[in-house]
Amino acid sequence: MTTMDTIIFELKERVIEVSRSYAICMELVVPENNKYQKTLTNFSNFFNPTAEVHFQSVVVGLYQLFDTRRGTKSIPHLLKLAPQSELLRKLKEKCEWHSGTLKKVKKIRCEVYAHRNASRSPEEVLTQVNLSFDGLGALIEIVEEIVCELATGDVIDSVKLSDEIERCAYSACKSLQLILEALSLSSPKLNQVTAQDDMS
């Protein structure tokens, strides 16, 4: 029999993955968040694809977390199992507030990452959908809140789960910052070689 904690246990790693990938994306693609913009530019052949991979991870992960098909473990099925309460009502209401962002996520997943739209390029789809990082962040916060708030403690402690999600995202960002710091302090010769490689 599928229980709430069983679903939460299954969803935990995906929530951590989505939160971690989102945090890395924010470091890499939002200029005002990053003091290493020159380093990102010098090593763009590495960091641009890295950002794209993590963005894809966020989109596909959120799609899976909100999968409504039968036989899947997801946020919608978790909410159906939860006992009626004021907390449940508020969580469902918050999900509804961000339904527009979720529709955009699903469109990108279906027309860019799972399949390719026959009439439009991935760039055209992304431009039309216009999914903001702020919107993504708000949706991820709701996912984290739902999973942590509905954990009963029998299998997963809600406080420990919340701490683990936050710790993993922080650790990933800190690791990225250490890499960028090391590259920024690298010799001018290394930067020069990288620039020449970009032109070749």
Q: Does residue 133 contact residue 30 with C-beta atoms inside 8 Å? A: yes
Count of domains for the chain: 1
pLDDT tens profile 31-59: 665 678 888 888 889 999 999 999 999 99
Average pLDDT over residues 5-23: 91
Average pLDDT over residues 75-86: 89
In terms of pLDDT, which residue wins out, 172 or 195? Answer: 172
Q: Which domain holds residue 194?
A: 4-199
Q: What is the pLDDT of residue 190?
A: 59
Q: What is the pLDDT of residue 171?
A: 96
Exposure string for 107-125, b = 16+ CB within 10 A, e = fewer: bbbebbeeeeeeeeeeeeb
Length of the chain: 200
**At 65, which amino acid appears?**
L
Average pLDDT over residues 49-73: 93
Question: With 60 as the cut, is the pLDDT of residue 195 above it?
Answer: no
Question: With 60 as the cut, is the pLDDT of residue 193 above it?
Answer: no
pTM score of the predicted model: 0.87
